[in-house]
Every structure is written in C-alpha cells, then in structure tokens.
Amino acid sequence: MKKATALGLWIIGFAACTSLAPPPPSLTVENPTPAFSSRLSLDDRIIVEDAWSYLRSGRTDKARKAILRLTPQNPFYYPGLGYAAFLEGALPAAEENFALAVKNFPGLAIGHMGLAQVSQKTGKMTQAFREYLEVLKYDPGNAVAKRESDAIGAQRTNQYLNDARNLASLGNLAKSKEAYAQALEFSPKAREAHLGLARIYMKEKNLQSALFHLKTANANDPKDRTVLQEYAEALYQAGQYSRSLDAYERLLEIDPQDKAAVDRRENLRNRLGIFELPSEYNSIPSLTAVTKEDLAALIGVKFKDLFGDPPPRPLVIVDSATSWAFRDIVKVAGYNIMSANANRTFEPRKTVTRAELAETLIRLINFLKARGVKVVEQVPADRIKISDVPPEHFYYKPITQVIAYQIMDLAADRTFKPELDVSGREAIRALDILLGVVIR
C-alpha cells in the first residue's frame, strides 16, 4: 500500500514538473493579411493555414516545419517564424523576423502587429504605439491594435503631461516643452499639451508657435472658452487684428457678459476703423449660403490692414448702391478680387459656389503677393487629383491652386463639389486660414 502511494505521488510530482513550465508570452496571432494571402497559390495557402493552426495551438515545432516549406519570398514566411520565436520566448529572433517582414513587404499589417507586440513585451512602449498605428493604417478595423494603441496612448499622455507640469513648476521650460510635445505624439488633440506649449511660447515671445497650438486647440473644441480667450489675445499680441476681432466676437457669443472681451472688441473695432458692423455682417456665420456682398464684406473687414491705398480706378457699379456692403464691393471689385460683369453689375445678392470662392481666394492671394505678402503652396498643384473637377473644368486651375495652398479641402472621396453653395462658416474659415498662412 505504501509503495502504491509512493508511486502515485511520484507520478503526480513528475506530471507537475513537466506541466509547470512558464506559459509562453501573451500573443495575438493575427490572421494572414487578406490582401497578401489572396495572391498565394493554393498549395501555399494550405501550408500557411496549417502553420497558423499550429501556432494558435502552441505547437511551434510543427508550425516552423510548415513555414520552412515556404520561401522567403512568401509574405507570411517571416511573420510565421516571428510568431514561432515569440511563442518560444525568443523575443530578439521574433523582432528580427517581424522587421524583415515589414521591410520586404510594405503594408503587411501582420508584420507591424508582431513588431508592436514584441515592443510592448520588451517595454518599448513608444515603438509599440507607433507600430500599432501602422497596423491601423493598413487595417483600420483591427480591434486589438485600436485597444492597445488607445491604452498606451492614454498612459503615455498622462505620464508626459504630469512630467511637463512638474518641470514647468520647477522653471525648466525647455524640458517642459519636450514633455508636452511627447504627450502630443500620443494624443495629438490633447488640450492641456497645446495650452501648455502655447503658454510657454507666449512667455518666450514666440507668438507664431503659440498661435499654432492655440489655433489647433481651438479647432479641436471651438466652444472651449479658455482656449478661445487665449487664442483671441495671442492674435491681438501678434498684430493680427481682424482675426483677433473674429475670435473675440465668438467668445462673446459664448459669454456676452465678459467685460474684458467687450473692451478688447471695442479696442479692435476702433483700431480697424470699424465703429459699427451692420447686423447683416454679424449674421454671416449663421448663413447656409453666402452672397457676393457677404463675401465682399468679409474680405473687406478681415484684410483691411493689408489693403493699404484705395483702388487706383474705382469701378462704377450700377446695381449695388443700396447694398449694405457697398464700400467693400467697390473695394474688392476695384482690386479685381471679385469681378463686376461687363454691364457694370455686381449681382450682390447672388449666392457664391465653392468654385467661385476658390477663384476669389486665388485672386486675393495674387493681390496680396503683388503687395509683397508671401503665401506658400503646401502641396504641388500638379499632384492634386480631384474626382469631380476634370482638367477641362472652367474653375479647374483656381480649385487645384486653392487646395495646393490647403485653404479649401477635398472630401474623403476626393470630390470638391464645385457647384455647392458656400456657408457663412465655410467662407469665414477659408479666409481665416489664408490670414493665418500669409507671411508679412
């Protein structure tokens, strides 16, 4: 009986010893990327399917034998070897194989996924985050990459924001800026990071950098009162009075009782020579379709400090004398920023299309350039492809140019919708973008 008991205990102990090996590192074995697997021969697809089945069951020896029946020219050769090495705990070998996969086959999401998981396992969280973003670039619906990148992004953002606050409190502004910038790598819309950087740049009198971060933060949340207030004041300090006035007007829409904003608005109106803006002007932001007189007024007010001398030959316009924007119509027509017709009519109440707005913006840019103002294209115009504006389109040239300056955008399907009416907000946004990129 004792011998039987002892034998039983020995068997149990042996079994325990053979089964208590540490579990393999956690790993998500991604399905072979469809865009690449569809190119394989039937035999190779069967081999890959078998290898992945072995990997998922942890049978790395059989998986490796199957994978080695493939050639390095097969897109799943290196990922398969990478997964096998990862499961065996050989992380340097896993990293090397996944790196070869993405080097030899750009766009192979499964390779980036492997690199992300190796980086995460070895504590290289920034690299893991970047690789998960690469996965999402090629496979936007990847739930694992989304979950892990969000988790890493939130953790790293909080860490760097905390570091930035502490460094700023110690007076180390240079290192604080670095920490805020690192936070933005993980969370590009982080309000605190943009505000923190803007405040440091304001202290350093670097107004352009401060404005960049305040403008971005304001675009992310236009109703954020603190951001809008600091943005409006920074524009004022930078001498961008028309844009500052617009920002203070928006601030007063949020809080009409803000006395400091009221005082600053009056100061700006006096500085710009705008003692009373007509009610029609104040209603432009709410319009679903702006007219030519609305657009003329926006240009006249926003670019007042860039116009300088009056037009050399003011035009006689026969249909706009009763327009509330008559002075601005005469100005933009005189400078040929907006055209009067051959019969000297302007058609002030005609609605403006996106194509017409593009043409007006390019004429305005050309006018500003003639005055010594520098405006730089952000994208070469000849590289721009628009699905609904062919080269023979009447407005093709101004539309491609305005997109090259990145003042107006294409939709996700690369359409411009040239015949669509322009809303008040869209017209204001385009003119504000132009004001923001001019270099005086």
Give pLDDT tens digits for 64-83: 999 999 999 999 999 999 99
pLDDT, position 153: 94
Half-sphere exposure of 355 (CA within 13 A, CB side): 14
Confidence category of residue 346, pLDDT binned at 50, 70, 90: very high
Radius of gyration of the chain (CA): 31
pTM metric for this prediction: 0.58
Taking only the tens place, the pLDDT of each residue in 211-231 is 999 999 999 998 899 999 999
Q: What angle do CA 211, 216, 217 make, to 5 degrees?
A: 100
Quickly count: other Cβ atoms within 10 Å of residue 289's Cβ: 15
Residues of the chain with CATH 1.25.40.10: 34-140
What's the half-sphere exposure (Cβ side, CA atoms, 13 Å) at 247?
26
Residues ≥6 apart with Cβ < 8 Å to 399:
355, 358, 386, 389, 393, 408, 416, 418
Residue showing tokens 């006096």: 270
Q: Is the pLDDT of residue 187 over 60?
A: yes
Strand partners, 351: 291
Question: Do the beta carbons of residue 255 and residue 229 sit within 8 Å?
Answer: no
CB 78 within 8 A of CB 104: yes
- Interval 54-63 mean pLDDT: 93
Is the model more confident about 315 or about 15?
A: 315
- Report angle CA 367, 370, 376 to the nearest 5 degrees: 80
* Alpha-carbon torsion (271, 272, 273, 278), positive or negative: negative
Q: Sorting pLDDT into bands at 50, 70 and 90, what band is 19? A: very low
Distance (Å, whole) CA 243 – CA 268 = 10
Q: Options 3.30.530.20, 1.25.40.10, 3.30.450.40, 3.40.50.620; which CATH number does 34-140 get?
A: 1.25.40.10
Paired residues of 180 in beta bridges: none
CA angle at 36 for the pair 115 and 79, rounded to the nearest 5°: 30
- Residue 271 has a pLDDT of 80
* 387: DSSP letter: T
**CA torsion, ordered 252, 255, 256, 262, to nearest 10 deg:** -50
